[in-house]
Amino acid sequence: MKRLKIDEGKGYFLGDDSEDQPVDKLTKEDLLRMVDLTLNEDEILFDDYDEDSLHNQAHRIIYKSVYAKLHSLRERRSEFVDESERLFLGEYEAYRVNPAVEENSPPSNQGL
């Protein structure tokens, strides 16, 4: 299924309810869901950005930005996943070796 598409001069994204929604109605939650799907789905489709196909100026700006970010993220997906795994590898190894360390450690005072 296409996550971003251009139809009849307007930009759309596939909403949570599997219905096409105009890109100017995109919420933070919709964007986070699209990022998650972009990273986790094996096949994800977007219509390429084409300024001439989008007649609404707001749709042009939003679609271009969202498309560029998601397309870039998709191209760097394995790099992003590998880096994320490396960030937590040290903590995972420490916890795996001695799970009691986390349970017996004093509470953090970082919020003070």
d(CA 46, CA 34) in angstroms, rounded, equals 11
pTM of the complete model: 0.69
What pLDDT shows up at residue 65?
95
Per-residue confidence band for 112, with pLDDT thresholds at 50, 70 and 90: very low
Handedness of CA 60, 61, 66, 69 (dihedral sign): positive
Q: State the pLDDT at residue 70.
A: 92
Give me the pLDDT at residue 55, please. Answer: 94
Mean pLDDT of 25-46: 89
3 contacts 34 by C-beta, under 8 angstroms: yes
